[in-house]
Amino acid sequence: MKIVIGCDHAGYAIKGAVKDHLIAKGHEVVDVGTNSADSCHYPVYAKAACKKILDGECELGILICGTGIGMSIAANKHNGIRAACCSDTFSARLTREHNDANILCFGERVVGAGLALELVDAFINAEYMNSGNHVTRVAMLSEIEKEN
């Protein structure tokens, strides 16, 4: 799978571990930065990652900041992006299966590297159920985007 990854300074340390993990599992990773621990602004990297997904270059994305919240808010401003901020593996799996989330966000200041990799695996390995009420509800999300 081709996966885009991005972070701000507060997610920079864990981004490297996530990237190595994905590559070791055979995925292709597109890294949109940031590339140092110098202070920067998370919307820049959320926007760059969303573009990779909306352009069709990448299938899924991972965004990391201090809490995961700024990244998820920024990502969810984009039509067609469904970003979920998770700190447990159940939610990380279910947001793929039920919400067809295409970006996982989490906070380096919230989760450790061990849990971060498990969140990533739960998200990447899950599949959207693509049937019944899940399809209806995801379509309703798209309608909200059109209305706004």
Q: Which residues are catalytic?
A: 65, 98
- Distance separating alpha carbons of residues 13 and 8, to the nearest angstrom: 10
Q: Is 83 in the site for ligand RB5 (CB under 6 A)?
A: no
Q: Is 65 in the site for ligand RB5 (CB under 6 A)?
A: yes
Does the footprint of ligand RB5 cover residue 67 (CB under 6 A)?
yes
Looking at the Cβ atoms of 50 and 93, the one nearer to ligand RB5 is: 50
Q: Largest alpha-carbon pair distance within the chain?
A: 46
Specify the residue, 1 or 37, whose C-beta has the smaller distance to ligand RB5. Answer: 37
Least distance (Å) between residue 69 CB and ligand RB5: 4
**Closest separation in Å from C-beta 68 to ligand RB5:** 7
Q: Is 6 in the site for ligand RB5 (CB under 6 A)?
A: no
Residue 87's identity, in one-letter code, is S
102-96-66 Cα angle (round to 5):
60
* Distance, CA of 115 to CA of 87 (rounded, Å): 8
Give the other-Cβ count within 10 Å of 139's Cβ: 9
